[in-house]
Every structure is written in C-alpha cells, then in structure tokens.
Amino acid sequence: MNNTERYIDAICGEGKVFKDDMRDYFKKSIFEIIELSDGSLFELSKEHIETRFCFSFDEVMDCQSGTNTYQEANDMASNVGFEYFLDENLKGLKASIERLKEDDELYLCVKYYRGPKNIVAYTSFQDAQVLGKLCEADRKLIIEAKERQIANMEKRCKTWWKRYGKEKLHTWTYSCWD
C-alpha cells in the first residue's frame, strides 16, 4: 500500500473524518504524500491554476499593483504575459518554501480536528493539536517535495498557456477608492 492509499484509508471510512464517497476527491486532489521520520503522513495538495487577475489603481499608489491611473492598471490587465501568469501561480509555493527555510519555530500538528494523529500539517502556533517540533530531516523532506511540486506546477502552467494562451485569462481593474 502506497502513502496515498494509507492517507486516504486513515481519513475516509466509517467513523472517520470523511465518508467513503470522498475517496475519489482525495485521489484527484493530492499531489504527493510524504512519510515523515516518525511515520506520520504529510499531504501536498495539487495546486489550482489561477487564471483570474485583478489590477487596482488609486491616485496615491498604495494599492497592491502599484498603479496610480486607470490607464496604467488597464494596460497591465491587458498585457498579462506568461511570466506574470507563471509567477502568480508559483507565488504561494515559493512563499511556503521560504517559510520552511527561514522559520525555526514550526510544529507538527494534527491536520484534521478529531482526525488521526498520523495525518499531520505544520504550523507556527502551539496549541492542543501540536505533536512536536518540526525536525530538520522532515523539513528537508517537505522542502524537496514542494520543489517537485513547483516543477510540476511550472509544467502544468506551460501546458495551459500553450493550449489557451492569454485569451482564456480573466483580468479586470478596479479603483481602491470605490
């Protein structure tokens, strides 16, 4: 039995966190399950490809996209290229790797409320669900898996862009003052 099957068996079934009809959902939504040094399982979900982008503007330039006129925001929205598309889709994964590399105070915790103790996630909060500190070996395993996930996401984004291109992106602008 592989890690994905062990993970799904641990959370789906009679008297467990999810009912059996959720098995197919988990099979499709899981990118990889990592077995940590203590035998617990850590899930990496498949990332969704983001195709909707918003560009804001205001006259004092304190909005997230940094434009101060409607025309600048509109130009950015209409000129979204592959690099922007790829960067936006990888931003969350890269941020999580940076957090794993820089934050020394990360803890393993039970992922699901009243779930099995061998299905874990990491957190920076210490509460009743914390099982212990994230060790360096486990941290390295998670980082390596997330790097594989980034490579996979890059490939998926390239395929998506090649198939649909800019035409299937949904972009819009708004004023921060509205």
What residue spans define the domains of the chain? 3-175
Which pair of tokens denotes residue 129?
């669900």
Closest CA to 120 of 19, 112, 128: 112
> pLDDT tens digit string along 15-31?
787 888 888 898 999 99
Distance CA 123, CA 131 (A): 11
Report how many helices (DSSP H) and strands (DSSP E) the chain contains, helices first.
5, 7
pLDDT at 177 over 70: no
Looking at residue 115, its pLDDT comes to 82
Distance CA 115, CA 30 (A): 18
Decide: helix, strand or coil at residue 60: coil
pTM of the model: 0.85
pLDDT at 119 over 80: yes
Categorize the per-residue pLDDT at 64 as very low, low, confident or very high, splitting at 50, 70 and 90: low
Q: Which amino acid is at 6?
A: R
Average per-residue pLDDT for the chain: 87
φ/ψ (deg, to 5) at 54: -115, 140
Decide: helix, strand or coil at residue 91: helix
Looking at residue 128, its pLDDT comes to 67
DSSP 20: G
What is the rounded average pLDDT of the residues 77-102?
94
Looking at residue 78, its pLDDT comes to 82
